[in-house]
Amino acid sequence: MKTYTLHIDAAHAWLEVPKQELEIYGVAGNISTYSYEKDGTAYLEEDCDMAAFCRALNFCADKFSFKEIYHGNTAPIRYMEKYNAN
């Protein structure tokens, strides 16, 4: 079972996913600019992008779980580059 890290701050959350997995599961081109990225890792915003990725995992019958990390008022993810599918 794959475990993904869910980063949470006072107002939002992002799922940490290797960008390569977004390609594998066919959702890389559908991720919005509300998500972020750094060093080959995407941080999917919780509302739409995370849900799209999780639906793709479920469709492929891959089991997964979440490990939560709380960052207080402001997660460092907010200062990363916006997601770019290229």
Over residues 3-46, the pLDDT tens digits come to 999 999 999 999 999 999 999 999 999 999 999 999 999 999 99
Considering only CA atoms, which of 50, 77, 83 is closest in space to residue 66? 50
- The predicted model scores a pTM of 0.92
Domain tally, the chain: 1
Whole-number Å distance between alpha carbons of 2 and 12: 23
Q: Is 4:66 a contact under the CB 8 Å cutoff?
A: yes
Instruction: Tell me which residue range forms the domain holding 8.
Output: 2-82
